[in-house]
Amino acid sequence: MKFTLIYCYDAYCGWCYGFSPVIKRIAEDFKDKIDIEVLSGGMMTGERIMPIEKIGPLIQTSYKNVEDLTGIKFGEDFLWHVFNPEQSDWVMNSEKPAIALCIFKEYYPERQLEFATDLQYALNYEGRDLDDDEAYRHLLEKYSIQPESFYAKLKSEAYKEAAYYEFALCKQLQVNGFPSVFIQTGELKFVMVARGFTALEELSSRIEMVLKETAA
């Protein structure tokens, strides 16, 4: 019996970016025991949508903490926007990358974690603006997705609704910080195994414990 690991993340969450190597290793190590479902959390939506000019100073003081604890590196192109926010036109809005993930799941559901981490690399290392349609074109090439079809869906109300459904699911799971990871052990039973950045060894141990207890 395979269980489902639910990874609640947001494309704009720096700690999720730092967590990417951990969750990818978990997916590999437990591939025979769990399936991965990635849910976008909608961290920057509604009143929380803001220009980089407003949130840049916060990132200036926090990105080093992410680097130091996780070992991940933020790219120079991303940091240019962070340290020159008055010259940047970036707007941090979780909606479009969440819609893109919903679309991608239709093509390659088994690779959704890879795509989600690709989105974070595109933003945090390559400095691509995820609120700009063109930020996704290189990933369409990577995954051999037809651009016209993808961009039509990106503007579709149906896929927007799918993204907001994922936001709602994260709220139902009472997610109040990212990244958050759950193991679904029954139809309506979810066990949280990570809230915030969690090291690989600790997360592996927690997952093993849940799987063992559930099988008992």
Domains in the chain: boundaries: 3-215
**Local confidence pLDDT in tens for the 216 residues of the chain:** 789 999 999 999 999 999 999 999 999 999 999 999 999 999 999 999 999 999 999 999 999 999 999 999 999 999 999 999 999 999 999 999 999 999 999 999 999 999 999 999 999 999 999 999 999 999 999 999 999 999 999 999 999 999 999 999 999 999 999 999 999 998 889 999 999 999 999 999 999 999 999 887
Angle at 78 between CA 80 and CA 125, to 5 degrees: 145
Q: What is the pLDDT of residue 1?
A: 76
Write the DSSP symbol of residue 179. S
Q: What is the pLDDT of residue 186?
A: 87
For residue 148, how many other CB atoms are within 10 A of its CB? 8
Burial environment of residue 101 by CB neighbours within 10 A (0 to 12, 13 to 18, 19 or more): buried
Would you say the pTM of this structure is higher than 0.85?
yes
**Locate tokens 């088994």: which residue?**
110
Distance from the Cα of residue 64 to its chain's centroid: 20
**Locate tokens 């699911």: which residue?**
169
Helix/strand/coil for 196: coil
Q: Which of 3.40.30.10, 3.10.129.10, 3.30.450.20, 2.130.10.10 is the CATH number of 3-215?
A: 3.40.30.10
Q: What is the pLDDT of residue 151?
A: 98
